[in-house]
Amino acid sequence: MSYFNLHTHKYTNRSNVLELVNQYPWAFDETIPQYSIGIHPWYIDESRLESDLQLIDKKLALPECLALGECGLDKRITIPIDLQAIVFERQITLAEKHQKPLVLHLVAAYQELIEIKKRLHITVPVILHGFSKNEQVAKQLLDNGCYLSFGKYLLRNPDLKDVFLSVPDDRFFLETDTMEESLEEVYAVAAEYRGISVHTLQQQVLTNRRQVFGV
């Protein structure tokens, strides 16, 4: 049974791991078999914005590109939130065009996401990676159709256990992002919290993968 890693910046090429590897248009690696591609709000560069969006549009048309991301909003950085929102909404338009899910980096902008989701009538799946907030925020996002992905904070913050348990079986993913700990460690803790075997957890996550990504 395979593990699925919803979001990682490091391609490991392991036979028992299916990886959604994060790629940036300005540093694209053709050798990675399955990936997401997007403009992270930290790395918005207006001088190359149009060429970045053009490459994202081109890659989203390919079957090996499973999602647009990571993209999103971060209110704790110096890049103006208005510019972030413009870039985010242009990427949403591309995801809708190609009917590919969105993998989001979101910091202190949950209400903004919900407003944008409703205003733009987003139809593709929306997944928040690296979720670390409380049950109230989780419920708001789940009630608005979002999926939540858990990784390092599930290992490092015991208070996240109840939040993770509040997420329905068909609405969560697991990931490593850039952390040192292994994907197997994330699955072991997640399975322990939910009171199931790692094998059963793998089956559930793979079912969710098929549901969201169609693969």
pLDDT in tens, 10-44: 999 999 999 999 999 999 999 999 999 999 999 99
Average pLDDT over residues 98-111: 97
Ordered DSSP codes for 136-194: HHHHHHHHTT-EEEE-HHHHH-TTHHHHHHTS-GGGEEE--BT-SS-HHHHHHHHHHHH
123 to each of 41, 97, 115, 116, 195, how far by Cα in Å? 22, 10, 14, 12, 33
pLDDT at 182: 97
Average pLDDT over residues 88-103: 98
Percentage of the chain beyond pLDDT 90 is: 100
Domain boundaries, the chain: 3-213
- Dig out the tokens for 148 from the structure: 């939540």
Cis (ω within 30 of 0) for the bond into 70?
A: yes
| Residue 177, annotated as binding a ligand | yes
| Residue 40, annotated as binding a ligand | no
pLDDT at 26: 97
Residues 125/130/134/136 CA torsion (nearest 10 deg): -10
pLDDT in tens, 133-147: 999 999 999 999 999
| Residue 105, annotated as binding a ligand | yes
20 to each of 53, 65, 66, 97, 136, how far by Cα in Å? 20, 9, 8, 20, 28
Average pLDDT over residues 87-95: 98
Q: pLDDT tier at 3 (50, 70, 90 boundaries)?
A: very high
pLDDT in tens, 145-195: 999 999 999 999 999 999 999 999 999 999 999 999 999 999 999 999 999
Q: pLDDT tier at 215 (50, 70, 90 boundaries)?
A: confident
pLDDT at 25: 98
Q: What is the second-level CATH architecture of the domain 3-213?
A: Alpha-Beta Barrel (3.20)
Q: pLDDT tier at 74 (50, 70, 90 boundaries)?
A: very high
| Residue 135, annotated as binding a ligand | no
74 forms beta bridges with 107
Mean pLDDT score across all residues of the chain: 97
